[in-house]
Each structure stands twice: as C-alpha cells, then as structure tokens.
Amino acid sequence: MPKTRFPRTARVRARSDFDRIFKHGRRVALPVLALHWQTADAARASCEQANLARPNARVRFERPDSGPRLGLAVSRKVDPHAVGRNRIKRVMRETFRAHRAVLADGDYVVVARVGAARCDHQQLRMALLSLLQRAGALKPEQIVPIGADAAMPASASASFAPVSSAPVSSLPGPAAAGTMPTPRRCDVISSTDPTPPSRGG
C-alpha cells in the first residue's frame, strides 16, 4: 500500500529553494493556480552550479533526497483573510499528499492566483491535478479519488479548463424532422395576432 504521509522533509521551505525553482524550473498555469517545478536531477545540478559560483560560502545548497516536495505561495492578494488562505493551502497539501507516492521526483511550488479564493475544494483539487498532468508528473490513471470525487472517473481532472476558454455563444442546431409537436390553431392565433382582446364584449 503506497505511503501517503506528508513529513516535514516533503515540503519546500527555504527561501533559496523557492528562488532556485522560480529561476531554473519550468512553469504551467491556469487562471486560478500556477505550478513551478524542477526535476530532482535538475535541482541537484542547480545546487552544484550555485555551490561552484560561491566556493567560499559557508552555506552549501543541497536538495534532500526525500522524494517529491511541495511548496506553497498564497499571498494576501489572493485572499486578505487568513482563513481563506489556509483553506487553499490545506486543499493543496491534501491533494499532493494523496498522490505523492506516484508523483515524479522533484520540487513543486504552487502559486495561488486571485481566482483561487472563489473556487471550492473540488475545483482547487482538479486544477492542481490538471497542472501536475500537464507537467508530466502524474498520469490520469494514477489519480486517487478523495471524498466527493470518489465517483468521478480518473480522467475527469484532465478536462479542467478555465471558464473563459468556452465558446462565447453556441446555438442549437435545427430540430430533426418529426421531432417537434404540431402547433394547435389556438396557439398559432395567440402567438401571431397583435390585436388585444376587447374589454367591452
């Protein structure tokens, strides 16, 4: 049975790690979330390059071999209330924890955008899973159902898209012959006759 613990070592906490991932990592984004990530091998190479550039520094950059790690950035611009920011972080941690055993090794930093405050738990979870799939870190068949999503097919999160991407207008096509009811005579008269009924009789 895969381990779903989320220890302290599975979190990106150091400012230097955030700077490294933002500078050297790759990025995918949705209107509500952005994901910056760097593979474990790329992270080690970045650390070695930073150490070579600072040979006399007392602090050495090292990436711990602890598997996939998660970092979160949820600012007050996203939600001025701490309760709202903590809710977003909680959903991100729970989703990451449930899938950590099947994620590709590397560092992942999730940056919440303003629209995240208006999303419910399921929408936030689907957005993160969609970003992880786009990053190539998670396959659709590896998605673990959680709570209300248990009845949802594993590939559902792949269809998550911003609302703005939907077509502006989509008119239905003409009805097939024989599928529309035949209007009665009284319906035709009432819908076409502009003369109001007389009140005097």
- Which three-class secondary structure state does DSSP give residue 41? helix
Average pLDDT over residues 139-151: 70
What percent of the chain shows pLDDT beyond 90?
Answer: 46
Q: Contact at 8 Å (CB) between 4 and 100?
A: yes
Would the pLDDT of 5 be above 80?
Answer: no
- Per-residue pLDDT tens for 92-122? 999 999 999 999 999 999 999 999 999 999 9
Does the domain formed by 9-146 have CATH 3.10.450.40? no
pTM of the model: 0.68
Distances in Å between the Cα of 130 and the Cα atoms of 90, 134, 173 are 18, 6, 32
Residue 159 is classified by DSSP as G
Position 149 scores a pLDDT of 52
The residues with which 112 forms a beta bridge, in sequence order, are 33
Q: Contact at 8 Å (CB) between 50 and 17?
A: no
Sequence-distant (6+) residues with CB within 8 A of 78 are 84, 85, 88, 112, 113, 114, 116, 117
Q: Contact at 8 Å (CB) between 67 and 10?
A: yes
Amino acid at 10: A
Position 190 scores a pLDDT of 42
Of the ranges 89-103, 138-152, 170-184, which one carries the lowest mean pLDDT score? 170-184
pLDDT grade for 200, boundaries at 50, 70 and 90: low
> Higher pLDDT residue, 48 or 173?
48
| Sign of the torsion angle spanned by Cα atoms 110, 100, 130, 94 | negative
158-164-166-167 Cα dihedral, nearest 10 degrees? -160
> Higher pLDDT residue, 140 or 70?
70
> Higher pLDDT residue, 65 or 131?
131
Would the pLDDT of 66 be above 90?
Answer: no
pLDDT grade for 22, boundaries at 50, 70 and 90: very high
Q: How many CB atoms lie within 10 A of CB 147?
A: 9
Position 153 scores a pLDDT of 44
Q: Contact at 8 Å (CB) between 140 and 133?
A: yes
pLDDT grade for 148, boundaries at 50, 70 and 90: very low
Q: How many CB atoms lie within 10 A of CB 71?
A: 20
Would the pLDDT of 180 be above 80?
Answer: no
Sequence-distant (6+) residues with CB within 8 A of 76 are 85
